[in-house]
Amino acid sequence: MSESLLSFSEVLLFGRAVDDLKLKKDTRVRVAIIDDGVTSLPTITSGVIDDVTVEVGNKVLVQINDVDASGVYRVQNSGGSLVLGNRRLEPKGDFVFVKKGSKHKRTFWQQTDDVTAAAEHQKFEFKGKRRRGKGVNNFLGDQFLDGGQLARIYGFAFEGAYYELPEPTIFLVHGDGDFVNKEGSDDNAPGNLASRAPNNPNLTGIAAADFQFADDIRVWNYNKADFTVRMDVMTGQFEQVLLDVCFGGDGPGVSGARVSGARVSGARVSGARVSGARVSGARVSGARARGSED
């Protein structure tokens, strides 16, 4: 991040990748060749596959009537012509996502055959298209297409100040992030500075601090309008993490009341006090009833 007029819209997340909780990743290819009517590796005609122009290095899913030839290939240059080579074997159960193509755009395929040293079989079964919302954008869903992973975030920098979160929170981030102050990695180790702040504000987003980042803390840079996923983790007794959250600190707080034939689903009751009342099949929100039969 270089300082500019847009710096005040940037949010820097500081944390570490979560090792014991990962997004299920799949192999992503540019286009697919699906033809069970052929038994040999197809050729690339005029540099086009499924109405998509391919280039050297593009990944291509090939599913034909030959488990020893199917697989994920890369487009290569051979004597001035584009060919498929460098076959990759996908483990059984893994998914392949096809990004482009007139027939197979945004489709998922699962490798269902065993891969052993003696039999390097590959058979991909269609598992449907990626679900999309009905709106004009799918900003949040698209976040998972670009190397998303989960990270435990301890704090963030915004508008020239650093803020610590009350407790670490899990966010969706992208890429490996940059080391904040690991010596020899990003050349941002702290010098003999009275404030103990990292040298380069381009990575930290702040000018000074009275603390020091740990060596393994990384930073991810976002715009405040970007979409993300946040997951708060709570541990404790069921009474604390479930009942108190749903019903308040002291439970539902119903005294001398009779509730029958009612169904509450996805509801939130806050600030309500019911005493000596009978409630049947009703919804009460933010109300106070005492000595009433209503």
Give 29-41 pLDDT, tens digit per residue. 999 999 988 888 8
- Cα–Cα distance list, 169 to 6, 10, 126, 141, 236 (Å): 26, 19, 36, 20, 16
- The whole-number pLDDT of residue 191 equals 59
Do 23 and 145 contact (CB within 8 A), yes or no? no
Burial of residue 42 (number of CB atoms within 10 Å: 0-12, 13-18, 19+): middle
What is the pLDDT confidence band of residue 289, given thresholds at 50, 70 and 90?
Answer: very low
Q: Is the pLDDT of residue 268 over 50?
A: no
Q: Is the pLDDT of residue 198 over 90?
A: no
Question: Percentage of residues in the chain with pLDDT exceeding 70?
Answer: 66
Residue with tokens 């599913």: 63
Least confident of 105-119, 149-163, 240-254: 240-254
Give 130-183 pLDDT, tens digit per residue. 766 566 666 666 666 566 788 999 999 988 888 999 888 999 888 888 888 765
The pTM (predicted TM-score) of the whole model is 0.53
Give 27-82 pLDDT, tens digit per residue. 889 999 999 888 888 888 888 999 999 999 999 999 998 888 899 999 998 888 89
